[in-house]
Amino acid sequence: MPQPVRVVFLGGLGEIGRNCAAIEVDGRIMLIDCGLMFPDNDMAGIDLVLPDFTWLRDNAHRVEGVVATHGHEDHIGAIGWLLDEMPLTVIGSPLTIGLAKNRIEERGHLKKTKFIEVSDGDRIKVGPFDMEFFPVTHSVPHGYATAFHTPQGVILHSGDFKLDMTPVDGRLTDLAGIGHLATDDGIRLFLCDSTNAQSEGFSDSETSIGQNLQDIIRARKGRRLIVACFASHIHRVQQLANAAIAEGRTIITMGRSMNKNVALAGEMGLLDIPSDKLAKIEDLDKYDDGSVCIICTGSQGEPMAALARMSTGDNKFLQVKEDDCVILSSHPIPGNESSVAAVIEGLLRRGVEVIDSTTHRVHATGHAKSEELKVMHSIVKPEWFIPVHGEYRHMVEHARIATRVGTPPENVLVCSDGDSVVLSDKGLKRGEGVSAEYVYVHGTVGNLGEGILDERRALGTGGFVSAIVSLRIEGANATLVGTPEIVSRGWVSGDDGDQIHKDALRAVSDAVEDALAKGVRKRPELEKIVRRTLGRFVSNRTRLRPSIVPVILGAHE
Ligand SMILES: [Zn+2]
Ligand SMILES: [Zn+2]
């Protein structure tokens, strides 16, 4: 009897971002993607969110590698962080690997990584994993749907995809290939992108955007144009370049990742901008406003990126001015809406004309909408289906679509991060769960847990109050040294504040003296008493909930 195959979901089921799943065949583990997530507004100060690597760490000796389905950060951005813990083989198209290498190099792990480049239609074996790569269209070139030929039949992972019938590079989603696989072998389990399950109809083709951009550019003769889009969206950059060059403009790229990706895609022959039409930002002054088009990073409102710096007047290369036109050829990904809005506000206040996808068709999604999902399901005809890549509501809607197209409801499982499923001769069953917490990165610290956010939220909404108590303990005698100090931030201020501080001081002193008289000598106990006393005082007197931090010096440990 063939061995069961297990799939473990480590991220991306219940949020857009940090996509990471694991397939277990014959005791070995192959990851499908290892991405990061951009923080929400309520994740005070956090830079990035990673998948939880606890389970992978415990099973590091069994990990073969990662299939990188395409080059987006939510799929490759955490590979460098996982390499902190274990060596890996990274499998993907040359462009995906090129983009992943940038991230891996940043963490200094290139030497620890083995790369396997695959081409459209390739079928390769790595350990017990027999994998086949089907081209899909998406908002970065050369993405794949991956078929895993396992002892339990074919598991097909869609990757991020849309059904663009007129893609910029002519490379279509290989529906015919997937159809062959579905009829010849049959698909036992299908894992499919749910991002746009709630959007009706079909997505716009990427090529429909090029003409719109050119119309906008043509109508702004003589004015400086600045366009922000994803640096990995090579086809968008290509269309922008074509449109701007056709209108007599020279292209200037701006922002580290835009410069890098334009160079990388150019070297790979995936982007074609004539060298005499491509200039450096340092040479901006040599051009009239009407003869350039600046393509830059920052379409997601990233505070350090080129566009955000323009919006605050901090961009060292370019000061925006009235008569400039900025196009955001993008759509905010969940969590970034308010940062994008802030950038737009900043630009508008500087008198700039701002065009974005709310009013103009300057962006096409990279993810299949509901009708495209129906087409895909009708071709794949899976025995079992699990929606992936989405917030919970997207996955629930995707499950509904699957059943409408013909998968029996009892063969559709909606899963969450940390769930696992086991595919055997008997069918698909839920397996044992694994840890799948959010792991936060701030600065160079890469393993912050949920506790740190609770602390930050408490500080952010209530401030803190600290009582510093010094004791002298000699034999049976214990006394306060001087008066305790109350230090606070973001709690109370002014004359009222002074009085409240004094009263707090009295309450704490009384409580400590009382405790000492009763023979309490140990620091943890005294801390508890001070925290309780101060907490009660703060709550009764101010009805606020600042963090309470007792500091006891000179007590017994
Ligand atoms: Zn993607
Ligand atoms: Zn994605």
Q: Which ligand is nearest to the CA of 394?
A: 2
Q: Which ligand is nearest to the CA of 74?
A: 2
Compute φ and ψ for 8, nearest 5 degrees.
-120, 130
Ligand 1: distance of its center to the CA of 207 in Å?
Answer: 18
Q: Which ligand is nearest to the CA of 230?
A: 1
Q: What is the pLDDT of residues 117-136, one digit of tens each?
A: 999 999 999 999 999 999 99
Q: What is the pLDDT of residues 345-369, one digit of tens each?
A: 999 999 999 999 999 999 999 999 9
Q: What is the pLDDT of residues 50-104, one digit of tens each?
A: 999 999 999 999 999 999 999 999 999 999 999 999 999 999 999 999 999 999 9
Lowest model confidence (mean pLDDT) among 218-227, 387-396, 461-470: 461-470
- The confidence score (pLDDT) of residue 291 equals 97
The answer to whether 427 touches 384, Cβ cutoff 8 Å, is yes
Ligand 1: distance of its center to the CA of 141 in Å?
Answer: 10
Ligand 1: distance of its center to the CA of 113 in Å?
Answer: 22
Ligand 2: distance of its center to the CA of 389 in Å?
Answer: 7
- The confidence score (pLDDT) of residue 45 equals 77
The answer to whether 162 touches 365, Cβ cutoff 8 Å, is yes
Mean pLDDT of 244-250: 97
Ligand 2: distance of its center to the CA of 278 in Å?
Answer: 30
Ligand 2: distance of its center to the CA of 414 in Å?
Answer: 18
Ligand 1: distance of its center to the CA of 71 in Å?
Answer: 7
Q: What is the pLDDT of residues 269-322, one digit of tens each?
A: 999 999 999 999 999 999 999 999 999 999 999 888 999 999 999 999 999 999
Mean pLDDT of 183-210: 97
Q: Which ligand is nearest to the CA of 72?
A: 1
Q: What is the pLDDT of residues 401-453, one digit of tens each?
A: 999 999 999 999 999 999 999 999 999 999 999 999 999 888 777 777 777 77
**Which residues, in sequence order, are bridge partners of residue 133?**
146
Residue 33, pLDDT above cutoff 80: yes
Q: Locate the DSSP E strands across 311-455.
A: 325-328, 353-355, 384-388, 420-424, 427-430, 439-442, 445-448
Ligand 2: distance of its center to the CA of 456 in Å?
Answer: 29
Q: Which ligand is nearest to the CA of 12?
A: 2
Q: Which ligand is nearest to the CA of 389?
A: 2
In Å, how far are 1, 501, 545 from 485, measured between CA atoms? Answer: 73, 9, 19
Give the C-alpha separation, 83 to 109, whole Å: 7
Domains of the chain: 5-201+365-448 (3.60.15.10), 207-355 (3.40.50.10710), 463-553 (3.10.20.580)
Q: Which ligand is nearest to the CA of 388?
A: 2
Q: Who contacts 348 (Cβ-Cβ below 8 Å, separation ≥6)? A: 354
Higher pLDDT, 393 or 496: 393
Give the C-alpha separation, 491 to 538, whole Å: 10
Ligand 1: distance of its center to the CA of 17 in Å?
Answer: 9
Ligand 2: distance of its center to the CA of 459 in Å?
Answer: 33
Mean pLDDT of 391-402: 98
Q: Which ligand is nearest to the CA of 232?
A: 1
Q: What is the pLDDT of residues 207-219, one digit of tens each?
A: 999 999 999 999 9
Ligand 1: distance of its center to the CA of 24 in Å?
Answer: 24
Q: Which ligand is nearest to the CA of 138?
A: 1
- The confidence score (pLDDT) of residue 417 equals 98
The protein residues having their C-beta less than 5 angstroms from ligand 1 (an ion) are 72, 160
Mean pLDDT of 225-252: 97
Closest listed residue to residue 145, CA positions, set 170, 168, 112, 120: 120
Closest listed residue to residue 148, CA positions, set 135, 134, 162: 134
- The confidence score (pLDDT) of residue 457 equals 80
Ligand 2: distance of its center to the CA of 76 in Å?
Answer: 10
Ligand 2: distance of its center to the CA of 194 in Å?
Answer: 10
In Å, how far are 1, 188, 386, 429 from 426, measured between CA atoms? Answer: 11, 12, 17, 8
- The confidence score (pLDDT) of residue 69 equals 98
Mean pLDDT of 157-172: 98
The first and second tokens of residue 288, run together, are 């009239």
- The confidence score (pLDDT) of residue 442 equals 83
Q: State how beta strands 464-474 and 485-489 pair.
A: antiparallel
Ligand 1: distance of its center to the CA of 305 in Å?
Answer: 20
Ligand 2: distance of its center to the CA of 19 in Å?
Answer: 7
Ligand 2: distance of its center to the CA of 12 in Å?
Answer: 8
Mean pLDDT of 491-518: 90
Give the C-alpha separation, 210 to 363, whole Å: 9
Burial letters for 407-439: b for 16+ Cβ neighbours within 10 Å, e otherwise?
beeebbbbbebbbbbbbeeeebeebeebebebb
Continuous segment of H or E residues that includes residue 399 = helix 392-405
Share the mean pLDDT of the chain. Answer: 94
Q: Which ligand is nearest to the CA of 140?
A: 1
Give the C-alpha separation, 519 to 83, whole Å: 54
Q: Which ligand is nearest to the CA of 144?
A: 1
Give me the amino acid identity at 219: A
In Å, how far are 9, 282, 292, 298, 318 from 278, measured between CA atoms? Answer: 43, 12, 10, 20, 17
**Which residues, in sequence order, are bridge partners of residue 129?**
126
Closest listed residue to residue 269, CA positions, set 94, 497, 75: 94
DSSP of 275-296: GGGEE-GGGGGGS-GGGEEEEE
The answer to whether 15 touches 37, Cβ cutoff 8 Å, is yes
**Which residues, in sequence order, are bridge partners of residue 135?**
144
Ligand 2: distance of its center to the CA of 339 in Å?
Answer: 20
Mean pLDDT of 484-513: 90
Ligand 1: distance of its center to the CA of 159 in Å?
Answer: 8
Q: Which ligand is nearest to the CA of 142?
A: 1
Give the C-alpha separation, 230 to 233, whole Å: 5
Ligand 2: distance of its center to the CA of 75 in Å?
Answer: 6
Ligand 2: distance of its center to the CA of 386 in Å?
Answer: 16
